[in-house]
Structure 1
Amino acid sequence: MMQQMIQTAVRLVYPPRCLGCGDLVESDFGLCATCWRDTPFIGGTTCAACGIPLQGPDDGHRIECDDCIATPRPWRDGRAALMYRDRARRIVLGLKHGDRADLVQSAADWMARAGADILQPGCLLAPVPLHWLRLARRRYNQSALLAQAMARRTGLMACPDLLQRIRRTPSQDGLTASQRAENLTGAIRVHPRRAEMARGASVVLVDDVMTSGATLSACTDACLAAGANRVDVLVLARVGKDD
């Protein structure tokens, strides 16, 4: 009874607001009808490797996009919750650069639903790492926040520092896929103190955005080199060719 009274008082002082536009909504961590309509959730037939939407019905067989067929991914399966455009882009940028920790819970819920088939019992959630200098400037790793929130939601284990970015790399913005891959050569490894956790594990890499997949490929290679049994990827948003 007392807890309900406290929750009621908190709602009176801090009524729930839309994560997208700030308008009043009925429940915490929600989107209003307009923002929900403008947020491009991914559904239907998708590439099994990178999560991008594909045309045509899902016939139950593994389908991959042209890019993933031409350049096979080092990981097994990939899923994404949103396309990186419109309201979703603003949500990602708010989480990444705007100190919008209030977005983490909903984003993790969307990701957990999108990746339900790869979030199997016993798998290990591992965020894409930031170099310590960038982490010091930003004060948080948004991918680690997402991994930890998904761990709480699913009961799976998250290891925020399974991977280390041991070399500072320039921004990937504006680089081609091959330049992105070259930029990350030798930049990521499994943390020496976490090597036993990686060995034989089924790792699910967690990130906010997948563009070319170069960073996730470098993380996958590091996990496999450390003896991981399988690696999948799960991201909040996927960049399309036209985005």
Structure 2
Amino acid sequence: MPGSGRKWIDVPRAGARLALDFLLPMRCLSCDRRVGTEDGLCPVCWQKMQFIEKPWCYRLGIPFTYDVGEDAWSPRAIASPPVFDRLRSVAFYEGPARDLVLALKFSRRRELAGPMGRWMSRAGKEFLGEQSLILPVPLRWVRLLSRRFNQAADLAKVIAADCGGQYEPDLLRRRKRTRQQVGLSAKDRHRNVRSAFGIDKERESELQGRHVILIDDVMTTGSTVTACSKTVLAAGAASVNVITFAIADPSLRSADEAVKP
């Protein structure tokens, strides 16, 4: 009866859902095992996923082995402060995290951008908001043409929708062709992306005083996000923070000591 507070079940819709689950059961995002929730990992992959959690370095998001406070910096951040303000990542680039990145990028499983982007949004929630200007790390047009999509742009779009920020996929551009970063040394990576990025002169005003969030799928030595950060800061951005799905640099695996700056 109306007003009784009783919730009625839509039997046809519930039946259709059960039939769909039977015919197309929900699968683990990484290994394809059956799971009970949509866009989730099975228990095995969840255990193998090396999530990055607090306590961590305030600047680089590197996990500490013990809690030393919210604003502690790792020795690496003190010795070589990054150009960007803060880096936050979901997991280390190994196991299921690596599988997800490769599946999105090379197997064209673009549906993975949804759950991956939402994980990234949670990782960067401390600096994400409606005032954020969200920029994906761009691809050179030749590579974009061959791949047909930019995985960083797919992730950035999801993050912007989640936090209400402004998504601008074309504001930051790659203006020269670079070699693939895979297999290059840290020094060669930095040299490879030097002066590789730019902002359209007619659009520089859009960066004035803005809080920029750079989005990429994985960070290794940080050469790409550093080059991008320098570009947007030089164009007038007030700050730059970075969110990646994974960190691949083995030297960022942990920070055993912490220092209050």
Q: With structure 1 as the length reference, what TM-score do the two structures score? A: 0.92
Match of 1:41 in 2: 51
Match of 1:220 in 2: 229
Residue 9 of structure 1, CA deviation: 4.8
Match of 2:26 in 1: 16
- What secondary structure, in the 3-state scheme, does the structure 1 residue paired with 2:134 have? strand
Match of 1:104 in 2: 113
1:199 aligns with 2:208: yes
1:29 aligns with 2:39: yes
Task: Identify the range of structure 1 (62-71 vs 130-139) with the bigger mean alpha-carbon deviation.
Answer: 62-71
- What secondary structure, in the 3-state scheme, does the structure 1 residue paired with 2:218 have? strand
Aligned-partner Cα distance in 2 for 1:112–1:91: 16
1:180 corresponds to which of 189, 200, 216: 189
Aligned-partner Cα distance in 2 for 1:43–1:8: 36
String of CA shifts for 1:53-110, please: whole Å, max 9, x gaps.
22221412x2233332222111111111111111211111111111111211111111
Which amino acid is 2:188 matched to? Q
Match of 1:170 in 2: 179
1:114 aligns with 2:114: no
Match of 1:189 in 2: 198
Residue 149 of structure 1, CA deviation: 0.8
Aligned residue-pair number: 242
Which amino acid is 2:169 matched to? P
Residue 4 of structure 1, CA deviation: 5.7
Distance 1:177 1:67, change over 3 A: farther
Which amino acid is 2:228 matched to? C
Which amino acid is 1:94 matched to? A
- What secondary structure, in the 3-state scheme, does the structure 2 residue paired with 1:113 have? helix
Which amino acid is 2:230 matched to? D
Match of 1:52 in 2: 62
1:90 aligns with 2:99: yes
String of CA shifts for 1:168-201, please: whole Å, max 9, x gaps.
1011123232221111111101234532321211
Residue 5 of structure 1, CA deviation: 6.0
Match of 2:141 in 1: 132
1:148 aligns with 2:157: yes
Q: Highest Rg: 1 or 2?
A: 2
Which amino acid is 1:52 matched to? I
Report if aligned partners of 2:129, 2:163 keep a CA contact under 8 Å in 1: no
Q: Which structure's relative contact order is higher, taking Cα pairs within 8 Å and 6+ residues apart?
A: 2
Which amino acid is 2:193 matched to? L
Report if aligned partners of 1:111, 1:234 keep a CA contact under 8 Å in 2: yes
Residue 231 of structure 1, CA deviation: 0.6
What 5-or-longer segments of structure 2 have no aligned partner? 1-9, 254-261
Residue 50 of structure 1, CA deviation: 2.1
Aligned-partner Cα distance in 1 for 2:113–2:68: 30
Match of 2:6 in 1: none
Aligned-partner Cα distance in 2 for 1:32–1:164: 38
Which amino acid is 1:51 matched to? G
